[in-house]
Amino acid sequence: METSEIRRRFLQYFEDRGHTVVPSAPLPSPDPNLLFNVAGMAQFVPYFVGQQTPPYPRATSVQKCVRTLDIDEVGKTTRHGTFFQMNGNFSFGDYFKEKAIEYAWELVTKPQHEGGYGFDESVLYASVYYEDDEAIDIWKRVAGLPDDRIVRLGMKDNFWSMGIPGPCGPCSEILIDRGPEFGADRDWEAGDRYLEFWNLVFMQNIRGEGGGKEGYPILGELPKKNIDTGLGLERVAYLLQGVDNMYEIDEIYPVIERASELTGRKYGSEHEDDIRFRVVADHVRSALMLIGDGVTPGNEQGGYVLRRLLRRAIRSMRLLGYEDPSLVELLPVSLEQMKKSYPELETDFGRISQVAYAEEEAFRRTLTAGTTIFDVAVRETKASGAHQLEGAKAFQLHDTYGFPIDLTVEMAAEQGLNVDTEGFKSLMKEQRERAKADARAKKAGHADTSGYRELRDKGVTEFTGYQELSTDSQVRGLLREGAVAEFAEQGETVEVVLEKTPFYAESGGQIADEGLIVGDGLRLKVLDVQRPVKGLIVHRVEILEGVLRPGTDVHAQVDHEWRVSACQAHSGTHVVHAALRQVLGPNALQSGSYNKPGYLRLDFAWTSALDPATRSEIEEVANLAVRQDLPVSAQYMTLPEAREWGALALFGETYDEQVRVVEIGGPWSRELCGGTHVKHSSQVGALAVTGESSVGAGVRRIEAFVGMEALHYLGRERALVRLLSENLKTRPEELPAKVADLAERLRTAEKELERMRAAQVLQAGAELASNPRDVFGVQFVGHRAPDGVNGGDLRKLALDVRGRMGNEKPVVVAVLSVNDGKPGVVIALNDTAREWRLKAGDLVRIAAEKLGGRGGGKDDVAQGGGTDPAGADDALSAVEHAIGHQVTG
| Cα torsion through 257, 261, 266, 270, rounded to 10 | -90
Read off the pLDDT of each residue in 9-29 and give the average, rounded to a whole number. 93
pLDDT band of residue 15 (cuts 50, 70, 90) is very high
Region 744-750: mean pLDDT is 90
In DSSP notation, 661-679 reads EEEETGGGEEEE--S---S
Q: Which stretch of 266-270, 392-396, 433-437, 624-628 has the lowest confidence by average pLDDT?
A: 433-437
What percentage of the chain carries pLDDT values higher than 90? 58
The pLDDT of residue 433: 64
Question: Is residue 794 scored above 80 in pLDDT?
Answer: yes
d(CA 825, CA 817): 7
Scanning 586-702, the segments in alpha helix (DSSP H) are: 612-627, 639-644
pLDDT at res. 167: 83
Query: Lowest-pLDDT range, 114-128, 131-145, 656-670?
Result: 656-670
Higher-confidence residue of 299 and 548: namely 548
Rg, Å, the chain Cα set: 34
Q: Would you say residue 860 has pLDDT above 90?
A: yes
pLDDT higher than threshold 90 for residue 165? no
Number of H helices, E strands in the chain: 25, 35
Banded model confidence at residue 436, pLDDT cuts 50, 70, 90? very low
Average model confidence (pLDDT) across the chain: 88
Q: Which residues pair with 700 in a beta bridge?
A: 604, 694
Residue 104 has what pLDDT? 96
Residue 704's pLDDT is: 95
Q: Give the range with max mean pLDDT: 216-220, 447-451, 599-603.
A: 599-603
HEC states along 763-805? HHHHHHHHCCEEECCEEEEEEECCCCCCHHHHHHHHHHHHHHH
Which residue in 760, 799, 784 sits closest to 876, CA to CA? 784
Which pLDDT does position 655 carry in this prediction? 66
Q: Which amino acid does the sequence have at 809?
A: K
Structural contact between residues 698 and 355, judged by C-beta atoms closer than 8 angstroms? yes
* pLDDT at residue 429, as a whole number: 76
pLDDT(450) > 60:
yes
CB 837 within 8 A of CB 866: no
* pLDDT tens per residue across span 272-325: 899 999 999 999 999 999 999 888 888 778 888 898 899 899 989 988 989 899
* 712 in a known ligand binding site: no
pLDDT (0 to 100) of residue 256:
96
Q: What pLDDT does residue 273 have?
A: 92
Whole-number pLDDT of residue 652:
53
pLDDT at 438: 38
CB count in 10 Å sphere of residue 287: 31
On whether 673 is known to bind a ligand per the annotation, the reply is yes
Are 123 and 176 spatial neighbours (Cβ–Cβ below 8 Å)?
yes
Which candidate, 118, 132, 136, places its Cα nearest to that of 169?
132
pLDDT tens track for 675-732: 999 999 999 999 999 999 988 767 889 999 999 999 999 999 999 999 999 998 889 8
pLDDT at residue 544 is higher than 60: yes
pLDDT at 437: 47
Report the interhelical angle of 271-292 vs 327-338 (nearest 10°): 70
Are 493 and 541 in contact, with CB atoms under 8 Å apart?
A: yes
pLDDT grade, residue 400 (50/70/90)? low
Q: What is the mean pLDDT of the segment spanning 593-610?
A: 90
Give residue-wise pLDDT tens across range 180-225. 888 888 777 766 788 899 999 999 988 888 777 777 888 888 878 9
The neighbour count for residue 89, using CB atoms within 10 Å, is 27
In what order do the strands lie in the sheet containing 854-857?
A: 773-775, 778-784, 811-819, 822-829, 861-865, 854-857
Could you tell me which residues are beta bridge partners of residue 86? 63, 232
- Let me know: does 825 contact 863? Beta carbons within 8 Å: yes
Instruction: Give me the pLDDT at residue 883, please.
Output: 93
Instruction: Find the mean pLDDT for residues 117-124.
Output: 94
Q: Is the pLDDT reported for residue 245 higher than 90? A: no
Listed ranges 103-117, 171-185, 219-233, 786-800; the one with the highest mean pLDDT: 103-117
- The count of C-alpha atoms lying within 13 angstroms of the C-alpha of 280, restricted to the half-sphere facing its C-beta, is 31
For 552-583, the pLDDT digits (tens) are 999 999 999 999 999 999 999 999 999 999 99
Could you tell me which of 806, 801, 875 has the C-alpha nearest to residue 843? 875
Is the model's pLDDT at 478 over the cut of 60?
A: yes
674/696 Cα distance (integer angstroms): 27
User: What whole-number distance in Å separates Cα of residue 230 and Cα of residue 86?
Assistant: 6
Closest by CA position to 31, among listed 155, 162, 126: 162
Give the pLDDT confidence score for residue 103 in this predicted structure. 96
